[in-house]
Amino acid sequence: MKLISRIDELILVAIWKLGKDAYGMAVRDEIIRVTGVNWLLGAIYGPLARLHRRGLVTSVKGEPTPERGGRAKVYYELTPAGKTALKKIQEVSAVMWKGARKIEA
């Protein structure tokens, strides 16, 4: 199976960490909090749509609210395939780093 990209990884981890609260904006805020890089809000949806199509995440619709212009929040959670992919990339990272010298920055 092909490895997922770093951006996909970041998103999947964020969804995993957020649990029940993982909707688009929350995912972005989490990534910004961890990485410190200011992602534009629009940048999150392209990768989310891709993950959705590849079956790595599923979505659940919430209640529509007026401040969202009558649109529902959509919450994401990992599918089994998503979990497998995330686990795999985690393992690959760990294996890669094993035995490597520490980087002094």
Partner 1 sequence: MTNIPVTTKPPRLAAWLLGLLIDSVVRDQAIGDLEERFRVEARERGLFLARAWYGIQILPVLKSFIEDNVLWEGSMFKNYLKTGWRNIKRQKGYSIINIAGLALGMACAILIVFYVHHETSFDRFHKNADRISRVVVDVKLKQGGGVVPAAQMAFGPTLAKDYPEVEAVVRVQSQSKTLVKYADQSFYESGLLYADASIFDIFTFPLIAGDPKTALARANTVVLTERMAKKYFRGENPVGKFLRFNDEADFAITGVMKDVPSNTHLQFDILVSLETKFVRNLSLGQDWVNINMPTYVLFRDRRGPKEIEPKLVALVEERLGSLLKALGGKMKYSFQPLAKVHLFSHYTMDLAPNNGSIQYIYMFGAIALFIVGIACINFMNLATARSAKRAREIGLRKVIGASRRALFGQFLGEATTHSLLSLMVALILVRLALPFFKSISGIDLRLGASQIVWLVPLFFGLALFVSLVAGSYPAVFLSALHPVKTLKGSWKAGPGSARFRRVLVVAQFFIGIGLIIGTGVIRRQLDFMRNRNVGFSTEQVLVTRIDNPAIVPRIESVKARLKEIPGVVSAAMTMAVPGQSTEVNVQPFVPEGFSESEPMLLRQFSADADFVPTLGLEIVQGRNFSKENTTDADSAILINEASVRKLGWADPLGRKIKTPTAPIGTWKEKTVIGVIRDFHFLGLREMIEPFLLTYGTEEDQLIIKLKTENLRATIRELERAWKEIDPVRPLDFFFLDAFFDAQYRAEERLSSLFTAFSGLAVAIACLGLFGLASFMAEQKAKEIAIRKVLGASVRGVLARLSLEFLKLVALATLLAWPAAYFAMGAWLRNFAYRASLSPWMFLTAGVAALAIAFLAVGTQAFRAASINPVNSLKYE
Residues binding partner 1 (CB under 8 A): 23-25, 40-43, 45-46, 48-49, 52-53, 59, 64-69, 71-74
Looking at beta carbons only, is 16 or 26 nearer to partner 1?
A: 26
Smallest gap from residue 45 Cβ to partner 1 (A): 4
Looking at beta carbons only, is 17 or 64 nearer to partner 1?
A: 64
Cβ-based neighbours of 74, under 8 Å, separated by 6 or more: 23, 24, 59, 60, 61, 62
Please tell me whether residue 70 adopts helix, strand or coil conformation.
coil
Is 83 exposed, middle or buried, given 0-12, 13-18 or 19+ CB atoms closer than 10 A? middle
Smallest gap from residue 59 Cβ to partner 1 (A): 8
